[in-house]
Amino acid sequence: MQKVIITGGTGYIGSHTVVEFQNAGFEVVVIDNLSNSVIEVLTGIESITGIRPIFYQIDVSETKDLETVFKDHKDAVAVIHFAAYKAVGESVKEPLKYYQNNIQGLVNVLSNMIKYDIPNLVFSSSCTVYGQPEKLPVTEDTPVVKAESPYGNTKKINEEIIVDTINSSENLNAISLRYFNPIGAHISANIGELPLGVPNNLLPYITQTAIGLRKELSVFGDDYNTPDGTAIRDYINVCDLAKAHVVAVKRLLNNALRYEVFNIGTGKGSSVMEIINAFESSTGQKLNYKIVDRRAGDIEQVWADTSKANKILCWKAEISLDETVKSAWEWEKKVQKS
Ligand code: UDP
pLDDT digits (tens, 9 = 90+) for 75-133: 999 999 999 999 888 999 999 999 999 999 999 999 999 999 999 999 999 999 999 89
Ligand 1 midpoint to CA 250 (Å): 33
What pLDDT score does 195 carry? 93
Decide if 195 is inside a domain: no
Of the residues 233, 270, 289, which should be mutated to test ligand 1's pocket, given the most ligand atoms within 8 Å of the CB? 233
The residue contributing the CA closest to ligand 1 atom 11 is: 220
Smallest Cα–Cα separation from 158: which of 133, 129, 182?
129
Of the residues 132, 181, 183, 201, which should be mutated to test ligand 1's pocket, given the most ligand atoms within 8 Å of the CB? 201
Query: Which residues contact ligand 1 via a Cβ below 6 A?
Result: 181, 200-202, 205, 217-220, 231, 233, 272, 295, 298
What pLDDT score does 321 carry? 98
Ligand 1 midpoint to CA 214 (Å): 16
Percent residues over pLDDT 90 in the chain: 94
Q: Supply the DSSP string of 1-15, one letter for each residue.
A: --EEEEETTTSHHHH
What pTM does this model have?
Answer: 0.97
What pLDDT score does 14 carry? 98
Ligand 1 midpoint to CA 202 (Å): 5
Res. 236: pLDDT tops 90: yes
Verify cis geometry, omega within 30 degrees of 0, for the bond prior to 137: yes
Ligand 1 midpoint to CA 269 (Å): 13
The residue contributing the CA closest to ligand 1 atom 21 is: 201
Atom of ligand 1 nearest to the CA of 201: 20
Decide if 293 is inside a domain: no
The residue segments making up the domain with residue 60 are: 3-182+235-265
Decide if 221 is inside a domain: no
Atom of ligand 1 nearest to the CA of 180: 25
Decide if 284 is inside a domain: no
Question: What CATH number should be reported for the domain holding residue 69?
Answer: 3.40.50.720
Cite the active site residues.
151
Decide if 38 is inside a domain: yes
Please tell me which residue, 233 or 147, carries the higher pLDDT value. Answer: 233
What pLDDT score does 65 carry? 93
**Other beta carbons less than 10 A from residue 1's beta carbon:** 5
238-272 pLDDT per residue, tens: 999 999 999 999 999 997 789 999 999 999 999 99
Res. 204: pLDDT tops 90: yes
Res. 157: pLDDT tops 90: yes
Contact between residue 59 and residue 67 where contact means Cβ atoms under 8 Å apart: no
The residue contributing the CA closest to ligand 1 atom 10 is: 220
- Rounded to an integer, the average pLDDT of 177-184 is 98
Q: Is 142 helix (H, G, I), strand (E, B) or coil?
A: coil
Atom of ligand 1 nearest to the CA of 302: 25
Res. 338: pLDDT tops 90: no
Decide if 244 is inside a domain: yes
Average pLDDT in the chain: 97
**Other beta carbons less than 10 A from residue 115's beta carbon:** 12
Q: Is 335 helix (H, G, I), strand (E, B) or coil?
A: helix
Q: For residue 120, what are the β-bridge partners? A: 78, 173
What pLDDT score does 257 carry? 87
Atom of ligand 1 nearest to the CA of 203: 20
Ligand 1 midpoint to CA 72 (Å): 41
Structural domains counted in the chain: 1
59-82 pLDDT per residue, tens: 999 999 999 999 999 999 999 999
Decide if 127 is inside a domain: yes
Pairing of strands 270-271, 232-233: antiparallel
Decide if 59 is inside a domain: yes
